Copies of this chain bind each other. A is one copy, B any other.
Amino acid sequence: MVQIPKAAAPSSTTPPLPHSVPTSADVARLAGVSRATVSYVLNNTSAVRISEPTRRRVRAAAEELGYVPHAAARSLRAGHSRIVLMPTPAVPMGPLYHGFIDELQWALGRLDYTVVQHGSVGLRGEEAARAWAELRPVAVLVPGTGIGPEGVAVLRRSGARAVVTIGPEAVEGAHAVLLDHHSVGHRAGAHLYARGRRRIGVVVPEERGLGVFSRPRLEGVRRALSGTDGTVTELPLGYDEESAARLAARWRALGLDAVFAYNDEYAMLLMRALQDVGLRVPEETAVVGADDLMLGRLLRPRLSTVHIELPAGRDLAELVDRAVRDPGGAPERRTVRGATVVHRESS
Contact = CB atoms under 8 A, between A and B. Distances in A.
Contacts of A4: 130-131, 134
- Determine how many copies of this chain the complex contains: 2
Given A122-B106, A150-B7, A21 B116 contact: no
A218 interface: no
A122 B102 CA distance: 10
Interface string A10-25: 1001111110111000
Interface string A121-134: 11000100011011
A140 interface: no
Interface residues of A, number: 78
B298 A130 contact: no
Given A14-B173, A149-B10, A156-B16, A109 B135 contact: no
Interface stretch (A28-36, A62-70, A223-231, A284-292): A62-70
Interface stretch (A157-165, A208-216, A303-311): A157-165
A76 B71 CA distance: 10
Chain B CB within 10 A, most for which of A71, A133, A157, A160: A157
B119 A117 contact: yes
Contact of A68 (B69, B130, B150): B130
B7 A154 contact: yes
Contact of A10 (B17, B88, B153): B153
A297 interface: yes
A129 to B, nearest CB: 8
16 contacts: A7-B126, A7-B153, A18-B79, A18-B156, A21-B157, A66-B154, A70-B136, A72-B75, A92-B99, A101-B119, A105-B119, A109-B122, A114-B131, A114-B135, A115-B119, A117-B119
